[in-house]
Amino acid sequence: MKRETPPLPVNEPLSTDSLHQENERLRAETKLLKDTIRQQQAELRRIEQRWKFALEGFGDAVWELNLQTREIIRSARYREILGYTLEEFPDIVEVWMDKLHPQDWQNLTDPDMSLYLSGVRKSHVTEYRLLAKDGTYKHFLDKGRVFSYSEDGKPLLMIGTSTDITHQKNIEEALRTSAHRLSNLIADFQEGILLEDENRAIVLVNQQFCNMFSVPLKPDELVGVDCSGMAEQSKGFFREQDAFVARVNQLLQEQKLVIGEEISLADGRTFERDYIPIFIDGVYAGHLWKYTDITKRKHAEDAAFYLNEKYQRIIENMNLGLIEVDLEERIVYTNQSFCAMSGYEPDELIGQVATDILLKGQNIQFMKEKNESRLRGNVDAYEVSIKNKRGDAMWWLVSGAPLYSQSGQVIGSTGIHLDITKQKQLESELRVAKQEAEHSARVKELFLANMSHEIRTPMNAILNLGQQITKTSLTEHQQFFIGMINTAASNLLVIINDILDFSKIEAGELSLEHINFDLADLIGQAVQVMTHDAEKKGLVISTEIGSGLPPTLLGDPFRINQILLNLIGNSVKFTNAGSVHIQCNSKKVAGNQLITLSVTDTGIGIAPEFLSNLFTKFTQEDGSIGRRYGGSGLGMSITKQLVDLMGGTIDVKSEKNKGTTVTVKLSLPIGKNENEVNQKQTTPNEDLLQTKRILLVEDNAMNRLVVTTILRPYGVTIVEETNGYNAVERLRKETFDIVLMDVQMPVMDGLEATRITREEISKSLPIIALTASVIRSEKEECFNVGMNDFLAKPFEGKELVSMLMKWLTGTIEVVEPEIKEADGSLYNLSRLEMISRGSQEFIQKMIQLFCTEAPDVATQIKAAYEVGDFAKVKYLAHRIKPTIDTMDITSQIDAIRKIEELAIIGENSSEFKSLVDDFEKTIHQVTEHMQQTYGTGNN
């Protein structure tokens, strides 16, 4: 602070004391001034330091430049960005200039700082590139300004920041490249393209658009032009001008995707127009117009239409049904006679797959062979069974021929159909006789079930006593005999149990589970299973779960699921249009939950006089229903028995042609939340096989699905190949811990693949043979080519995992879930349930695979046998053998092995023919039963 000094007396000399006092006063003021300056300098340094810290906190580098001495000081962040040390990049302007990109040196507006030194320029914002230590150039955004001046006004100190913008620059470059690539791509389109933003300003247009609408400007000259009035300006091009303008305005207002609109032009051309609105994060951001000139195509279509009209009038007068199908079996033409025969209208047939709509899943392989024959140019006639729109079975005599294009290529086939249903009445009478024979067979099955029950009691005693004897002191000879007795008794008991399980429901001896389950989840699973069939018929299937339903109930979820599938399946089957609705309500009654399940449909309904017989075994409303919709009439009977067994009630309300409502009421205890339906299942030792990579080489899809399902809980990685050649190529490129190798495969078998692997790839990689053959010579051959072990199909999940643990971890202990046996006389799904640990999705997929592949193989076996191609019979029998075992088709397990043996011998015989015929018949019976029971088809 500056003080005023009092004036000295005039003409009075200063005394020594006065001088001393004045000197002390000046010294004090000087000290105070210095202290004030030091404080202000310290505060300035603190402010400057805080400023630098703040800037560096944002990731920016800070620098100071003395404009007079050209000395520069940079923060550590500057060198950190470039990757240099202080020694490598000292604070010298010349070093900085050496690192500057040559092009940027030319772009600097004031390289020698002359504008700053002259005071013309006080700040700058500029971009430049510096060479980093790794050899790349870093982009910087540099901001600086003069902060201090000398007393005479010269700039002294300049302070600024440098920001690393390399990432932003890379992004900008990528965007420019992408935009340029897109622009070039659209420019080369043969369609006219016009892209507008949300304000209808042109963003992009190609030359083809300009050509189509005679626009005299180049595409680049149109960018930014307002298109608001373009529709009105260009309407003269179109035949219906006002309609064109109105439609454009409508599309812009609705902002909905429109594809393939045809527009007629005044000059005779025809354009196809697409309107594609563009939304970014839900916000409208413009639209794209695409115009395609389809004039030539329309002329060709018109010419074809004229020819079709000409010949159709001729064909319509024929008393024969005529259809034409393309290479995908889709109907492209039908005459009125065919519509009358099939019951369908033309628009119901055109575009549909002929075999799907007429065969309803039957004779698929037969028709496949006929269609392949057409592609080879063959013409023939044959009889085929179909179902018309009403579901009535009919017989047609079909004369088929290939359909050629103008260039002589086969583009489909044509068929002439004659109704010979009346000539098949004799076959119908034979079918009635067959049904009577099947009824007799069912009586025998019931008798057999009763007998098996009587046999099982002493068999249990034999087994239990045999087990007790093994615990006593026995000689080695005695131990051997008792072991043989126990083994034989166990095998016999399995057979007896299979027979008994088939007739449990009919005999009223079915036992129920008593475990926790989630009913809402159970309903959802049942609906999911039936959704596919409902969607194929165009039905809406919906559910409604009451709010009072407990999360867990106690009962038998498997049987309740069976009830749901029966009821929902019936509704879907007997409903041709409309909906199926499932409703579940619950209320507490006497300590239990009273569950009310209702399934309501809009189907064909049931006549009042038949309601009383609805739950009678093997009964349907009438013969036509059976022919039209299929089924044995057992479904409602089984459902009634299951409901009765659970102590519930079932009620049916129906009106003919208006729909049906089936209501089931069950009283169930409330379960505990900590228990779940599949709690009995235990997860195997997951950590033993985790991270292992397994190459599965198997050409059978069902076998691959079995293996992957067994091993999925163990955390392994499975890579699949379908033949030995692909497996070898995979092994050349990738590393695996073990290989599961099928022996017989197309292209290259497992033996040859193993031989190549041992010679060229690895001698130590474990390779396990998977084969359906148990012939000693084949097993020895597997070891001779270098396989490490041998696993015969079908194998249990425990066997497979034990084999992997043996070769990968040195242990063979495996914990497997409890096996639940499945009902069925033709087959048994116990093995599938064990493998999948109760997964209905897996079982359904396996059944679908079986229904798709097995009938085809069975038909091929018979065809190969009939032409004497025993080598093919052997190959096909060996290939399907594991599938027969996995699906547990008991009657054919030994038969398919016998067929394989006879095929190896190569001699024809009555036994050989009988086995082949019975095998084909049984496979088709199994397929039909699976389709009816599980709603799975191959169409």
Quick: pLDDT tens for 355-372: 888 876 677 777 778 777
pLDDT value for 757: 94
pLDDT at 702 > cutoff 80: no
Q: Is 76 exposed, middle or buried (0-12, 13-18, 19+ CB in 10 A)?
A: exposed
Q: To the nearest whole percent, how much of the chain has pLDDT over 90?
A: 14
- CA dist 338 and 352 (Å) reads 14
User: Mean pLDDT over residues 692-721, rounded?
Assistant: 85
Cα→Cα distances 604→391, 537, 650, Å: 13, 14, 20
How many domains is the chain partitioned into structurally?
Answer: 8
Residue range of the domain that includes 19: 1-7+15-51
Residue 584 pairs in a beta bridge with: 545, 597
CATH number of domain containing 603: 3.30.565.10
pLDDT band at 852 (very low <50, low <70, confident <90, very high): confident
pLDDT value for 179: 61
pLDDT at 774 > cutoff 60: no
Residue 825 located in a structural domain: no
Residue 827 located in a structural domain: no
Residue 832 located in a structural domain: no
Mean pLDDT of the chain: 78
Q: What are the φ/ψ torsions at residue 157 (nearest 5 degrees)?
A: -120, 135
Selection from 441-455, 466-480, 896-910 with the highest mean pLDDT:
896-910
Answer whether 748's CB lies under 8 Å from 728's CB.
yes
CATH number of domain containing 852: 1.20.120
Write out pLDDT tens, residues 213-236.
888 888 888 888 998 888 888 888
pLDDT value for 385: 81
State whether 523 and 621 are in the same domain: yes
State whether 762 and 876 are in the same domain: no
In this predicted model, which residue has the larger pLDDT, 460 or 332?
A: 332
State whether 416 and 327 are in the same domain: yes
State whether 656 and 524 are in the same domain: yes
State whether 577 and 645 are in the same domain: yes
pLDDT band at 816 (very low <50, low <70, confident <90, very high): very low
pLDDT value for 853: 86
- CA dist 371 and 365 (Å) reads 10
State whether 527 and 416 are in the same domain: no
pLDDT at 562 > cutoff 70: yes
Contacts 24+ apart (CB under 8 A), 202-206: 202/227, 203/286
In this predicted model, which residue has the larger pLDDT, 179 or 585?
A: 585
Assign 576 to helix, strand or coil. Answer: coil
Write out pLDDT tens, residues 267-300.
989 999 999 998 988 889 899 999 999 898 888 8
Residue 370 located in a structural domain: yes
pLDDT band at 784 (very low <50, low <70, confident <90, very high): confident
Q: Which residues of 123-133 are buried (b: 16+ CB within 10 A; e: fewer)?
A: ebeeebbbebe
Of 139, 137, 140, nearest to 161 by C-alpha is 140
Residue 395 pairs in a beta bridge with: 385
pLDDT at 609 > cutoff 50: yes
Of 99, 104, 123, nearest to 113 by C-alpha is 123
State whether 177 and 281 are in the same domain: yes
pLDDT at 150 > cutoff 90: no
State whether 690 and 814 are in the same domain: yes
pLDDT at 938 > cutoff 50: no
State whether 700 and 747 are in the same domain: yes
pLDDT value for 510: 56
Q: Is 336 exposed, middle or buried (0-12, 13-18, 19+ CB in 10 A)?
A: middle
CATH number of domain containing 98: 3.30.450.20
pLDDT at 823 > cutoff 50: no
pLDDT band at 812 (very low <50, low <70, confident <90, very high): very low
State whether 662 and 525 are in the same domain: yes
Residue 828 located in a structural domain: no
Q: Which residues of 151-167 are buried (b: 16+ CB within 10 A; e: fewer)?
A: eeeebeebbbbbbbeee
Write out pLDDT tens, residues 243-261.
999 999 999 999 999 998 9
User: Mean pLDDT over residues 485-489, rounded?
Assistant: 64
Write out pLDDT tens, residues 726-768.
999 999 999 999 999 988 888 898 999 999 999 999 988 999 9
DSSP characters over 695-761: EEE-S-HHHHHHHHHHHGGGT-EEEEESSHHHHHHHHHHS--SEEEEESS-SSS-HHHHHHHIIIII
pLDDT value for 718: 92
State whether 66 and 43 are in the same domain: no
Residue 41 located in a structural domain: yes
Model pTM score:
0.28
Residue 712 located in a structural domain: yes
Residue 835 located in a structural domain: no
pLDDT value for 2: 46
State whether 544 and 565 are in the same domain: yes
